[in-house]
Amino acid sequence: MMRPAGTPPIVGTALPTRTVVISPVHIVAGAIATRDWRPQHHDRQQCVEVYGLPDIIMNTPTQAGWIASYATLWSGPPGRVARIGFQMRRPIIPGLDLTFSGTIEAAREGEACWWTRLAIALTDGDGIVRTESRALIALPRAGGPQPWRLRGADFPVPSWDLAELREPVA
């Protein structure tokens, strides 16, 4: 479910979850779309026999794409993701029921928009976090410009801790 447009982000709000059953096509399509030709992302035999992996694994930019997609599914199209960071704890492989869950960790008012830091976990069906991530996303303020309209110095991306911005929104 998308957040109501123009409303301030509230720290502690949980995002709706999203579950995806990961198939080999998810892994391979991501690798091709990101021009990643390494065998870890398409050659199961080599993964198992050479690399000691359980299967082909999802690559880094594909994971970034899924995380951004999850963030904007919640924010709606005006949301502009400006930072994504993640730590891959265990590989994402075919057959997983992968659930995306997220929480608003921090929110502050910038010159042109609200800046919101999301904590996002990618958790498998056994409850094990496969990837731990966070995303910094700009949201439009009521009556303010669309974040996606801003360029150059008009879109100063803050640090992860948002320390350079005003006090928390809520």
Partner 1 sequence: MIERRRQPVPGDLPPDIAEMVGKVAMVMAPAVTADRTQMTAFLSAVEDGNPLLWDEGVADELAGETVAPPAMLSTFMRPGRWLPDGQAPLRAMELHYQLKERFGLALAIVGDSEVAMFDPVRPGDRVITEIVLDEIGPEITNRLGTGRKWTLLLRYLRECDGALLGTEGIRFFSYNRPS
Residue numbers of the site for partner 1 (CB under 8 A)?
20, 26, 29-30, 32-37, 51-52, 60-69, 72-73, 77-78, 80-88, 134, 146, 148-149, 151-152, 155, 157, 160
Q: What's the gap between Cα 25 and its chain centre?
A: 20
What is the C-alpha to C-alpha distance for residues 61 and 77, in angstroms, rounded to an integer? 20
For residue 74, what is the DSSP state? Answer: H
For the bound state, the minimum distance from the C-beta of residue 4 to partner 1, rounded and expressed in Å, comes to 17
Cα Rg of the chain, angstroms: 18
Max alpha carbon distance in the chain (Å)? 58
For the bound state, the minimum distance from the C-beta of residue 36 to partner 1, rounded and expressed in Å, comes to 7
For the bound state, the minimum distance from the C-beta of residue 163 to partner 1, rounded and expressed in Å, comes to 14
Compare residues 43 and 170 and give the one whose CB is closer to partner 1.
43
Compare residues 5 and 170 and give the one whose CB is closer to partner 1.
5
Contact in structure between 139 and 79 (CB atoms under 8 Å): yes
